Amino acid sequence: MEQLGEFSQIFRVVGFLGILAALAYFFSKFVNNRHIAKHISEGKKGIVLCDTRSLGNKQFLVVASYEQEKFLLGISSGSIQMLSKLNSVSGKEDPNPVISNS
């Protein structure tokens, strides 16, 4: 009977440590997600998706901006290609856009 009491006590300790580890894991995930969302909302420099259009069959056209420049991207399930550099604030445009059929 004494062994059953020891086993019960060990089971309680292991269970408590498991619950404590799970809470620590979820807390760290919550803090990391808030940290990432905070950096996005602060307006840090980075890639911003301005517009997205579906072409069907897992293919998309995306207008993305980085700093002061905008780019037209072709996205498929296996690749991402820059199709053209769009008009920027200065009004310059890429004279030789690359268009691919892949």
| pTM (2 d.p.) | 0.45
Q: What percent of the chain has pLDDT over 90?
A: 33
- Tell me the per-residue pLDDT of 25-56, one tens digit each, with 9 for 90 and over: 888 877 776 655 555 545 556 788 888 999 98
The C-alpha atoms of residue 92 and residue 66 are separated, in whole angstroms, by: 15
Give domain limits for the chain: 1-44, 45-102
User: Is the pLDDT score of 91 beyond 60?
Assistant: no
Q: Which residues contact 40 (CB under 8 A, 6 or more apart)?
A: 46
- Tell me the per-residue pLDDT of 54-76, one tens digit each, with 9 for 90 and over: 998 889 999 998 888 899 999 99
